[in-house]
Structure 1
Amino acid sequence: MPLVAKESRCSSSSVPPPPAVSNSNWVRSGSGWEKFIALRENLNRHIKRLARDSSNSRVILSNINNRNQEVESSQDQNKENESNRKKKSIDHHSCYIFLPRGGAKKTGFYFTIGEVLNRLDFSGAVHDHRRFNYVCRILEIITESWLFALSGLAQKNFFFILEESVTVVSETKLYVNRVKKILQDISKNLLKNPHFHVGSPKTWNKWLDLVKDWLQQLNTIDYTPTEIRVDSLQLMDLPPDCLNRIMSSLANAKDIVNFGLTCKYIHEISEYTLRWEKLCRFHFTQQQITSISPKFLDSDNKVNWKGVYSRLCHRHGNRELYNNVLNLCNHCNCIYWTDGGHPCSAEITPEFSTRQFSDVVVTQQNLTPEEFMKLWPTP
């Protein structure tokens, strides 16, 4: 009996309970014997955890991809902004120029007319209709007094601006007569006193051939009017107030006179006394008007303002009108276009300007083409 009890104790210590083993509620796992229900719950939790982790991984991967796309797009945008900034800085740099204070003897630095034409971007300014008349007037001044003494760089820049002007005129069919007059004057000056020109005769003959080609190109411009529909609104259908408003925008007397020659109806509108009085007061001073107006009184003691304008224009010339001019800043001594602006030191460092130069008022001076050309040494 003791021996049998000992064997039972040994079997009970090494083997699980027989009923539990044969029961399907128990299964062997890696960690030992577990109930089947508990194992199934563990497996379900593990599957759910894997599914949750996989969904989280998909979300994480999608977030990473979106982030990478955002980074790539931001890098592309930064590159584009950087290229635009560099391009803008280059273009902006060519549209203003700082004049040295104290003259070339003190500073050892000066600009030639060729560099000025390049850095102020006159070749690009002719494509802006607001700057076109201003550039044309400077070309006229150079043609009259500077052409024979231009250096090689100045000649190249000057004729490049002319080429761009001819291109603009050919496309828009505007300012044809003015550009044609400039080319004709250049052709005369090139043929006159060729021995006093700077450069070889071969170079000046090349410019002369170019000018002749440009003149021929302007002479071949076709002014064929477009077909007008019978039922379309025409100029004569407008009321007198509209025609008067259109004619009031013309500041040149020649344009008004030529406009009035089209028909009798428009001629009567062009003869309005108030229009010619406004032109006189705009182009001339009160002292100039007073000195000559008594000579143009009619029988009713009314002033013939058209006659006054004609006489004053013959004596003093017209006042030039420009929509966009070059300005001179009195603070940093910079020349720039009106709509382009410039990096003034008063705007870049406001603390510096308010502390040390609080009594200085930053102003600008509008430069006429004649005043602009006087800034550079005459040849």
Structure 2
Amino acid sequence: MANNVHQCEEDCSDLRKSPMHSIANHELLVRPSKSIPVEDPNSLHNFAAVFHDCTAFKPSKESDLDEAASDNEEWFPYCFVKTTNSKEFVGCTSMSEAFHRLDLVRSVKNVRRFTYICKVVQILIEQKLHNLSATARKSLLSILQAIVVKSVEQDVHISTARSLVSEFGVGLDGHVCGSPKLVSKELDKVGDLLEVIAERRPLSLADSDEESTTFLDLPREVLSIILRKLPDHVSLLEIAKTHEVMQAIVESEWKLWSTLCRFHFTTEQIAQYATPNNTDWRHTFFQLKKYFGLRDVYTDLIHICCHCKALFWKETGHPCLSKDAPSVRVPPQQFVDMLLFL
């Protein structure tokens, strides 16, 4: 009897050390998923509240073991992508999964990533919308919802949000193959987003405290220096519509357009269209833009690791076996092409 008891204890000890026992313990810690659809918001407050509730949980699909990680554990948004034609591949197999693992929806809130994500969305809508599956379109619409919420709540990039949503609706209307019921539902959501943008109440000088200092109270020289920090002509033209003071600065200050020219174009390119004595820098800028295009600048963008072939945000990095592995920046157009290759 003693030998049997001893043998039983050894068997139990081996079972505790087995991988299956470890996995079972982890599975007990898995939190249930929570999903709340965003449908027909009656107001911006309700729309934003429901949207934030949908994104309140850690976006991880890799396995139950990933969801069992502690809330305090650092999490890196990254995904492995297919770079060869080999059928033996472990990683992202769809565009929607790549969006999920790279956490694009919640990354919209990051001001350093906002421009990059908007450019990716713009390329997908203008060039690839008819190639997307229903699941990919659903993920793309979720990103658009996040862009609208950020724009309306913070009163920034309103024209960008309106343009992207409108183009998405135009692309859906009669140009997408698939379930008519699903397309109709997506068009209804597009209408809801445009309504949220239209109902927003922009901040004005009347909303400010009478004793506080507003942006327009700053000296004209200071305003001019601030406007020179804007990275593109669209921002200058939009801010010129806000107030006559801004319009006067944009139309009269040649240094604004001169700074833009030197930022986006090389000295050799500028020399082809600018004269030393008499230069209309605004006209020169649009001429250079027509022939050479603008320089794309992103504070934080997606990189691909040269060692493990993982896509990740440069700011946060990714877990890699090689600590010194180099990485290559992935522009928005190349990122879209890689997603379509999945």
Which secondary structure state, in structure 2, belongs to the residue aligned with residue 134 of structure 1? helix
Offset, 1:168:
1.9
- Residue 227 of structure 1 is aligned with which of 207, 211, 226? 207
Determine the structure 2 residue equivalent to 1:128.
110
Aligned to 1:340: 316
| Aligned-pair identity (%) | 25
2:188 pairs with 1:205: no
Partner of 1:314: 290
Distance 1:85 1:377, change over 3 A: closer
Amino acid at match of 1:162: L
**C-alpha separation between the residues in 2 aligned to 1:229 and 1:109?**
54
Q: 1:98 to 1:228 in 2, by over 3 A?
A: closer
Q: 1:364 to 1:378 in 2, by over 3 A?
A: closer
- For residue 218 of structure 1, report the CA deviation from its aligned partner: 1.0
Residue 176 of structure 1: aligned partner = 158
> Is the counterpart of residue 368 in structure 1 residue 317 in structure 2?
no
Deviation at 1:139, TM superposition (A): 1.2
Cα distance in structure 2, aligned partners of 1:378 and 1:100: 8
More helix by share: 1
CA RMSD between the two structures: 3.0
Give me the TM-score of the superposition, normalised by structure 1: 0.64
Aligned residue for 2:93?
111
Q: Which amino acid is the alignment partner of residue 330 of structure 1?
A: C
Work out whether residues 250 and 256 of structure 2, in 8 Å CA contact, stay in contact via their aligned partners in 1. no
Classify 1:265/1:155 alpha carbon distance in 2 versus 1 (closer, same or farther; 3 Å): closer
Question: Could you tell me which amino acid in structure 2 is paired with residue 282 of structure 1?
Answer: F
Matches within 5 A, 1:18-37: none
Distance 1:236 1:201 in 2: 50
TM-score, L = length of structure 2: 0.70
Q: In 2, Cα distance between the equivalents of 1:257 and 1:162? A: 24
5+ residue gaps, structure 2, are: 1-65
Unmatched segments (≥5 aa) in structure 1: 1-81, 348-360
**Secondary structure of the structure 2 residue equivalent to 1:86:** coil
Q: Is 1:248 the equivalent of 2:228?
A: yes
Q: State whether residues 114 and 151 of structure 1, in contact with CA within 8 Å, keep that contact through their aligned partners in structure 2.
A: no
Asked whether the equivalents of residues 300 and 314 of structure 2 are also in contact (C-alpha less than 8 Å), the reply is yes
Give me the whole-angstrom Cα distance separating, in 2, the residues matched to 1:139 and 1:112: 16
Pairwise CA distance, 1:330:
2.1
Picking from 268, 289, 293, the partner of 2:270 is 289
What amino acid maps onto 2:228 in structure 1? S
Structure 2: which amino acid aligns with 1:125? S
Runs of 4+ in structure 1 deviating by more than 6 angstroms, as ranges, are none
Q: CA deviation at 1:370?
A: 0.9
Return the alpha-carbon distance in structure 2 between the equivalents of residues 222 and 274 of structure 1.
Answer: 33
Secondary structure (helix, strand or coil) at the match of 2:340 reads: coil
Q: Could you tell me whether the CA contact under 8 Å between 1:104 and 1:110 is conserved in 2?
A: no
8 Å CA contact 2:303–2:311 kept in 1: the answer is: yes
Change in Cα spacing, 1:157 to 1:228, as seen in structure 2 (3 Å) is closer
| 3-state SS of 2:311 partner | strand
Aligned partners of 1:257 and 1:367: how far apart in 2? 29
- Alignment-derived partner of residue 261 in structure 2: 280
Change (3 A) 1:233 1:165: closer
Look up the match of 1:186. 168
Structure number with bigger Rg: 1
Q: How far apart are the structure 1 equivalents of 2:159 and 2:181?
A: 29
Following TM superposition, by how much is the alpha carbon of 1:88 offset from its aligned partner in structure 2, in angstroms?
Answer: 6.0
Contact 2:304–2:327 (8 Å) recurs in 1: yes
Greater RCO (CA < 8 Å, at least 6 residues apart): 2
- Number of matched residues? 275
Tell me the amino acid that sits aligned with residue 327 of structure 1. H
**Contact 2:151-2:157 at 8 Å conserved across structures:** yes
Question: Partners of 2:85 and 2:134 in 1: how far apart?
Answer: 24
